């Protein structure tokens, strides 16, 4: 009887540990190149196998910057932010966007997302 209890306990514990799946991932998992610009430079968009979230890496984001790298992690589908990630985090897709330049408006128009624009900077034109 005692052996049956021990066997049941071991089986229950093994099921508990194998049944608990963590949705989180490591930042190193995001190594699948989703987009590399053809004409621009300084950024790329990477994903991880089986994940909807993406990691955007921007290198030297302003003129004169030297060895500056920033990261934006866009969380989708309830996935977790990778452990130890120190960059900016955006949960879900942007629904409302303030365009700070007419260039931003043109880019949003190119991907069919002008409806997301809720504000425009400097409408003196």
Could you report the per-residue pLDDT of 2-34, keeping only the tens digit for each?
A: 655 545 545 555 555 444 444 557 899 999 999
Structure tokens at 13: 């514990």
54 plus 70 within the same structural domain: yes
Q: What is the pTM of this model?
A: 0.63
DSSP H or E segment with residue 9: helix 2-19
Query: Which structural domain range is residue 29 located in?
Result: 23-92
**Domain count across the chain:** 2
Question: Shortest CA distance to 50 belongs to which of 32, 35, 36?
Answer: 32
Residue found under tokens 């624009």: 117
Is there a domain that residue 36 lies in? yes
Same domain, 30 and 85: yes
- Tens of pLDDT, residues 26-64: 899 999 999 888 888 899 999 999 999 999 999 998 889
Same domain, 87 and 107: no
Q: Are residues 85 and 32 in the same domain?
A: yes
Same structural domain, 81 and 41:
yes
82 and 65 co-located in one domain: yes
């Amino acid at each position: 009887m005692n052996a049956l209890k021990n066997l049941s306990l071991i089986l229950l514990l093994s099921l508990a540990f194998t049944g608990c799946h963590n949705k989180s991932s490591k930042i190193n998992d995001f190594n699948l190149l989703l987009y590399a610009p053809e004409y621009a430079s300084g950024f790329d968009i990477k994903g991880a196998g089986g994940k909807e979230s993406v990691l955007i890496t921007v290198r030297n984001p302003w003129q004169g910057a030297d060895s500056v790298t920033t990261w934006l992690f866009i969380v989708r589908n309830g996935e977790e932010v990778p452990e130890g990630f120190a960059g900016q985090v955006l949960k879900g897709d942007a629904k409302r966007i303030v365009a700070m330049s007419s260039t931003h408006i043109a880019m949003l128009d190119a991907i069919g997302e002008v409806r997301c624009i809720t504000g425009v900077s400097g409408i003196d034109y």
